[in-house]
Structure formats: C-alpha cells, structure tokens
C-alpha cells in the first residue's frame, strides 16, 4: 500500500515566512492546511496555491479552538504579528496569539500525535548583554515596555511548548528566529529592510532610528525555511537559533540599499524607539551541530533578490503587498 501523504498545518501561513513554508511543504509532497486570519498577512502570498488539491486555506483566528478533521503529522505555529510596528499596533492580539494561540496549536498537535514547531524569536534575548547570543543566554527583556507584548508572549510560548514536551512527551521544537528578509515582506510593515527599500525606490529619504549604530544580522528567507524544515525533523527539543551571523549596523544597511538601488536619497535620523536592542547576532554553533545547517545565501545575493521583489511591488503601487 502506498504511504499516506503527510498532512501539515501551518498557522500564520499567509504571512511572510509562513507562505514560504506553505510552498516548501507542498513541494515536499505534503498536504498543507494554512490557518490565518490575515491580520498582518495577505491572501496574495498564497494565491498561487489556491485551487490545488494538496493545499487548503482557512481564514481563522487560532486563538480559538482549532479543529482539523483527519490525521495531522506536523503543526507549525507561525501566527503572530512580527514587525515592531505591527505588534505595537496590535499589542493584545500579539499576546493572545502567543499565549492562547500556542495553547490551541499545541492542543491540536497533541490530539493528533503530530510533531510541533514553534516560531520563537531572537527577541527572547531582549536587549542582550551577551554577544553573539547563544541559546543558553536567558535574555534581558523589559516585560512591561512596549516591546514586552511580543517578547513575553514568545517567552511564554516557549515555556508552554517545553511543558507540553515534558508533561506529555510530545515531539516539539523551538526555532529562535533572527531577522529574516526576502520576497513577500510588506512594503509598509515598518521593518527596517522593506522600509529602506521602499524609501530608496521612491526617491525618499531613508529614516534611520537613533544614530544607526545598533546592529542586526539578516538571514535570507530561503535559508531560514531550510533550517526550519531540518529542525522539524530533528531530535532536538530545546530552542535552536536560526539566523545568519552576518552582522552589520543599521546605518550600513541603509547605505548599502542606497547604493544597490542607485537612489539619490539621503539618510535622515529619527528617535530610537523604546527598548530597541543595541546589538543582535545569532550564535549558530548549535544549529550547525544538531541540524548540519548554516545559511548559504550571501547578503549581496539576498539583497539583489529582495530588490527585484520590492521594485515590482513599488511599480505596482502596492500599499500592503
């Protein structure tokens, strides 16, 4: 008898990373069920999959009880606003999807005996005092600051996932995802990289917050998806950092994007948001060791691919795409 096709549930599957995961698992031969309430995602990211017999989109808020008929082999919980601008606009929704949504997604996985993978974040480390950040660092998070709604929701989600693993023996995985970029980021999501591309492509000034000396390390989405796929199948249950250690300052990023686009734009400086982390760089020794994974797309190449996408978006006059 032929083996049954794997069935994979992806919450937040109409978002930036989630929609790439939908593509990845459909291509791997799975049947994919995408649950998303389109709070910060877009139907356009998964439009190309609609109508396939191995893909289903359900417009659903995963903070409520999740019912999926039939067997489920994998649950990937990616639903959550992720851009600081988004989670500051939706603070309660962010806390709810990190807490209640994770509870419901774990409950579904437990009921079905499925593998579970949580999209956690480098924000679990807050404004880090150890650099680069290994998984053993417990972080420096302000729980009651504006960013606390995201950071603490994800820290709670990690704690809940470990509790389900330890209590119920579930096959769970936690990805601490660092800044990721690529096609399908929204032009207006407020994150530095799409904002700088949009501003440069429209000939506007680039808004660097603070003096731009804060650092980030950007990972191309294709590399991230591969890391997530490997983590899901691994035997590792403790958190694993996924990201590209290629660190640069935000001012350097702005300058690179001006050069790459050939824009005449200037750089203007605006106030640094509250609790904005001063440095961020993943220590990926563990991912290399347990997953045999490391990013392979250099920044120069990833930025070129992102440029092609953002140029198209600007040309189409996308407001939200």
Give the active site residues.
150
User: Phi and psi dihedrals of 261, rounded to 5?
Assistant: -85, -15
Residue among 25, 26, 41, 66 that touches ligand NAD (CB under 6 A)? 41
Nearer to ligand NAD, 74 or 265 (CB): 74
**How many alpha carbons fall within 13 Å on the CB side of residue 11?**
31
* 46-51 contact pairs (CB < 8 A, 24+): 46/13, 46/14, 46/19, 46/22, 49/22, 49/23
Nearest distance from C-beta of residue 60 to ligand NAD, angstroms: 6
> Which of ligand UDP, ligand NAD, none is residue 216 near (CB under 5 to 8 Å by kind)?
ligand UDP
The 3-state DSSP class for residue 40 equals coil
Nearer to ligand UDP, 172 or 214 (CB): 214
CB distance 19 to 226 below 8 Å: no
Nearer to ligand NAD, 63 or 281 (CB): 63
The 3-state DSSP class for residue 215 equals strand
Nearer to ligand UDP, 80 or 83 (CB): 83
Q: Does 180 bind ligand NAD (CB under 6 A)?
A: yes
Residue among 15, 84, 132, 222 that touches ligand NAD (CB under 6 A)? 15
Q: Does 182 bind ligand NAD (CB under 6 A)?
A: no
Nearer to ligand NAD, 49 or 82 (CB): 82
Rounded to whole angstroms, the Cα distance separating 172 from 231 reads 10
Length of the chain, in residues: 321
Check the CA dihedral 265-271-272-274 and report its sign.
negative
For residue 45, CA distances in Å to 23, 42, 168, 239, 315 come to: 10, 6, 35, 28, 17
Q: Which stretch binds ligand UDP (CB under 6 A): 7-15, 24-32, 202-210, 297-305?
A: 202-210
Residue among 219, 232, 250, 291 that touches ligand UDP (CB under 6 A)? 250
The footprint of ligand NAD on residues 76-135 (CB under 6 A) is 78-82, 86, 93, 97, 101, 119, 121
Footprint of ligand NAD (CB under 6 A): 11-12, 14-18, 35-41, 61-63, 78-82, 86, 93, 97, 101, 119, 121, 177, 179-180
């Amino acid at each position: 008898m032929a083996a049954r096709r794997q069935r994979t549930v992806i919450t937040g599957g109409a978002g930036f990373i989630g929609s790439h995961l939908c593509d990845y698992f459909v291509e791997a031969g799975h049947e994919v069920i995408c649950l998303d309430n389109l709070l910060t995602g877009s139907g356009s990211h998964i439009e190309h999959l609609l109508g396939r017999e191995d893909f289903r989109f359900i417009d659903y808020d995963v903070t409520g009880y999740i019912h999926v008929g039939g067997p489920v082999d994998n649950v990937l919980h990616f639903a959550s606003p992720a851009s600081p601008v988004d989670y500051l606009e939706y603070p309660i929704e962010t806390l709810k999807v990190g807490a209640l949504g994770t509870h419901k997604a774990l409950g579904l996985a437990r009921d079905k005996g499925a593998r579970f993978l949580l999209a956690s974040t480098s924000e679990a480390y807050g404004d880090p005092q150890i650099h680069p950040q290994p998984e053993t660092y417990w972080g420096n998070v302000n729980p009651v600051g504006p960013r606390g709604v995201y950071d603490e929701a994800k820290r709670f989600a990690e704690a809940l996932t470990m509790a389900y693993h330890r209590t119920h023996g579930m096959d769970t995985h936690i990805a601490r995802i660092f800044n990721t970029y690529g096609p399908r980021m929204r032009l207006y999501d407020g994150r530095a990289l799409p904002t700088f591309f949009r501003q440069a492509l429209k000939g506007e000034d680039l808004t660097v917050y603070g003096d731009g000396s804060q650092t980030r390390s950007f990972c191309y989405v294709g590399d991230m998806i591969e890391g997530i796929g490997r983590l899901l199948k691994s035997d590792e249950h403790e958190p694993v950092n996924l990201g590209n250690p290629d660190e640069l300052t935000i001012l350097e990023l702005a300058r690179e994007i001006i050069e790459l686009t050939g824009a005449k734009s200037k750089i203007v400086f605006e106030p640094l948001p509250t609790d904005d982390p001063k440095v961020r760089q993943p220590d990926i020794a563990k991912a290399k060791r347990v997953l045999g994974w490391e990013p392979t797309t250099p920044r120069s190449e990833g930025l070129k691919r992102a440029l092609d996408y953002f140029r198209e978006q600007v040309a189409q006059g996308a407001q939200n795409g």
